[in-house]
């Protein structure tokens, strides 16, 4: 593989920015060079090195999205993005690594579930990928499987659910046992923190009253029940020996307050939020007339713009109470899929498609003064890689994988189904959003996959990555 020189740009890391050139040799970064150093080394124009002109642009580590659901079964259907379409869309958005979830439902085998996800992804991905393992049934077999996956499969994080009784739900005793096992093997426990037992009561009561529109999805999943479950998960993690706990898709101030308090008390508690909770709301999206709001049904749900949730989440990103921004990318088409819930919001498949737009939407947060440029890189690339043991990802330094996003701050992105939209969906949850910046060039392990507003990558380029333990706890 030829050498590649990204020249003239401003290299941005989690800790600062500097004008520098990035030299790629094969699949890894060979050097970060001071301006003019490439010419001194005979690496500029006229050599056999391909030059990417990044003048006036930012050169950042490729995005790492550690929460996606490609081809995930849900409520009698399946997420509409395959690993091929989903990872291609991710590449369009400057993402160079995803971590998806292999799903063990109650009564199923952990190893069989992981094997099934390998079959779905193998040979189909445009970018690199790894897996978390969902444990939908905590028993002796699944606890043994957790050890096996850490020791042999490069799967070092396990997701549990306090919601969805009968499908993925674990009670407090099961959660404690899984946390104790994770503590023994150094694994990360990821938690969907909503009180599913109470939510099911509220859902049944709402439907009995004839309250069936999509907006009632949010009203029956109140912020208090996200806060309560987060509190309970944190206390169980402490009882289990201060096991590392990562709260996924946080949407509520009440939950953030619990995480911040636990961190202040010295617990190994981390959390992520997603773009939908920073920008979207019940009033502007979920409560649209008729059934239109079904496009934005996701769990945890969107919150009211008249409350302080989104403002607090932005603050949490600035203060490092929230470590990561992921997408919880779980796309469903409006026709035939979301429409399964006409007349009963509880039957609407839960999920929003965002994998293509995370880097763009969070960069707009930089433009709007919510976070710094460095924090953009930290929450979208560097921290997720370190949090989940992707030791070769998330940084532009010698020896790291050559996963690079060249970002044009002077460009512009118009998001929408007829504009920028490559996910396998019949609508965009981000219709009409405008971003003051643009994906310019995307490089995955030394191979250019997006340039000149065209996808030039190939199916099967992406490789499975075995992960180590979290670098925050070693």
Q: Is 329 exposed, middle or buried (0-12, 13-18, 19+ CB in 10 A)?
A: buried
Are 338 and 400 contained in the same domain? no
Q: In Å, how far are 21, 107, 401, 407, 444 from 30, measured between CA atoms?
A: 11, 48, 10, 21, 15
**The whole model's pTM is what?**
0.97
Q: What CATH number does residue 10 fall under?
A: 2.30.40.10
180 and 55 within one domain: no
Place of tokens 């499908």: 167
**Beta strand spans in 105-179 (E):** 128-135, 157-161
291 in the same domain as 405: no
pLDDT value of residue 44: 66
Q: Facing residues of 74 across strands?
A: 77
What does the alpha-carbon distance between residue 4 and residue 51 come to, in Å, rounded to a whole number?
A: 6
Do 451 and 368 fall within a single domain? no
Same domain, 23 and 70: no
Element (H, E) at 219: helix 216-219
Alpha carbons 274 and 254: distance in angstroms, whole number: 16
Kindly state whether residue 313 falls inside one of the protein's structural domains: yes
CATH code of the domain containing 264: 3.20.20.140
Write down the pLDDT at residue 54: 98
421: in domain: no
Please report, in tens digits, the pLDDT of each residue of the chain (474 residues total).
589 999 999 999 999 999 999 999 999 999 999 998 988 888 866 678 999 999 999 999 999 999 999 999 988 899 999 999 999 999 999 999 999 999 998 788 999 999 999 999 999 999 999 999 999 989 999 999 999 999 999 999 999 999 999 889 999 999 999 999 999 999 999 999 999 999 999 999 999 999 999 999 999 999 999 999 999 999 999 999 999 999 999 999 999 999 999 999 999 999 999 999 999 999 999 999 999 999 999 999 999 999 999 999 999 999 999 999 999 999 999 999 999 999 999 999 999 999 999 999 999 999 999 999 999 999 999 999 999 999 999 999 999 999 999 999 999 999 999 999 999 999 999 999 999 999 999 999 999 999 999 999 999 999 999 999 999 986
* Lookup: tokens for 144: 């043994």
CB 97 within 8 A of CB 64: yes
Question: Do 75 and 146 fall into the same domain?
Answer: yes
Question: Considering its fold, how many domains does the chain have in total?
Answer: 2
Within 13 Å and on the Cβ side, how many CA atoms surround 448? Answer: 19
Task: Determine the pLDDT at residue 105.
Answer: 83
Q: Judge whether 422 lies within some domain.
A: no
Q: Cβ neighbours of residue 190 under 8 Å, at least 6 residues apart? A: 132, 157, 158, 159, 160, 246, 247, 248
Q: What does the chain come to in residues?
A: 474
- Within this chain, do residues 50 and 74 fall inside the same structural domain, yes or no? no
46 plus 76 within the same structural domain: no
Assess if residue 472 is contained within a domain: no
Residue 17 lies in a domain: yes
Query: 271 and 327 in contact (C-beta within 8 Å)?
Result: no
Q: Is residue 414 part of a domain?
A: no
The pLDDT of residue 242 is 96
Which of 177, 159, 178 is closest to 103 using CA atoms?
159
299 with 350, same domain: the answer is yes
Q: Of 269, 426, 287, 411, which Cα lies nearest the Cα of 345?
A: 287
Closest CA to 271 of 152, 351, 191, 372: 191
162 and 177 belong to one structural domain: yes
C-alpha distances out from residue 92 to 326, 351, 408, 457, Å: 16, 20, 14, 10
Q: What pLDDT, on the 0 to 100 scale, is given for residue 357? A: 98
What range does the domain containing 260 cover?
A: 62-392
Same domain? For 298 and 162 the reply is yes
Nearest CA among 324, 300, 285 for reference residue 251: 300
C-alpha 102/C-alpha 154 separation (Å) is: 13
Beta strands in 149-212 (DSSP E): 157-161, 188-192
Residue 99 in contact with residue 63, Cβ under 8 Å?
no
In a domain, 132, yes or no: yes
CA 346 vs CA 113, 160, 248, 286: distances in Å: 26, 21, 21, 14
Do 191 and 291 belong to one domain? yes
**Residue-level pLDDT at 444:** 98
């Amino acid at each position: 593989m030829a050498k590649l020189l990204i020249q003239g740009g401003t290299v941005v890391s989690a800790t600062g920015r500097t004008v520098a050139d990035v030299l790629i040799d094969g699949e890894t970064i060979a050097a970060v060079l001071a301006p003019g150093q490439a010419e001194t080394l005979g690496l500029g124009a006229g050599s056999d090195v391909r030059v990417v002109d990044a003048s006036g642009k930012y050169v950042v580590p490729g995005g790492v999205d550690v929460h996606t659901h490609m081809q995930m079964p849900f409520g009698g259907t399946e997420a509409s993005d395959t690993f091929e379409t989903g990872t291609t869309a991710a590449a369009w958005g400057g993402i160079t690594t995803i971590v998806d979830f292999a799903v063990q439902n109650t009564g199923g085998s952990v190893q069989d579930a992981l094997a099934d996800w390998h079959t779905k992804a193998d040979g189909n991905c445009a970018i690199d990928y790894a897996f978390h393992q969902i444990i939908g049934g905590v028993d002796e077999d699944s606890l043994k499987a957790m050890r096996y996956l850490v020791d042999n499969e490069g799967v070092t994080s396990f997701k549990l659910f306090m919601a969805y009784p009968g499908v993925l739900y674990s009670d407090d005793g099961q959660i404690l046992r899984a946390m104790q096992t994770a503590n023994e093997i150094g694994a990360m426990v990821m938690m969907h923190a909503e009180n599913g037992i109470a939510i099911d009561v509220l859902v049944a009561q709402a439907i009995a009253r004839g309250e069936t529109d999509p907006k009632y999805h949010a009203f029956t999943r109140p912020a208090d029940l996200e806060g309560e479950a987060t509190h309970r998960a944190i206390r169980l993690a402490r009882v289990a020996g201060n096991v590392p706990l990562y709260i996924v898709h946080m949407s509520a101030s009440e939950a953030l307050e619990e995480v911040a308090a636990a961190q202040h008390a010295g617990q190994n508690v981390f959390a992520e939020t997603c773009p939908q909770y920073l920008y979207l709301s019940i009033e502007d999206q979920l409560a649209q007339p008729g059934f239109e709001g079904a496009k934005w049904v996701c769990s945890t749900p969107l919150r009211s713009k008249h409350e302080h949730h989104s403002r607090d989440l932005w603050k949490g990103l600035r203060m490092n109470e929230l470590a990561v921004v992921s997408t919880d990318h779980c796309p469903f088409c409006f026709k035939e899929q979301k429409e399964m819930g006409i007349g009963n919001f509880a039957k609407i498949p839960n999920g929003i498609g965002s994998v293509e737009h995370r880097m763009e939407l969070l960069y707009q947060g930089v433009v709007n003064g919510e976070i710094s440029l460095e924090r953009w890189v930290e929450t979208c690339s560097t921290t997720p890689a370190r949090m989940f043991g992707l030791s070769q990802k998330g940084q532009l330094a010698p020896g790291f994988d050559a996963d690079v996003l060249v970002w044009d701050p002077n460009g512009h992105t118009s998001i929408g189904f007829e504009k920028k939209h490559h996910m396998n969906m019949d609508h965009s949850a981000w219709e009409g959003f405008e971003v003051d910046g643009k994906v310019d060039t995307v490089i995955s392990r030394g191979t250019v996959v997006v340039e000149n507003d065209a996808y030039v990558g190939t199916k099967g380029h992406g490789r499975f990555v075995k992960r180590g333990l979290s670098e925050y706890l070693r």
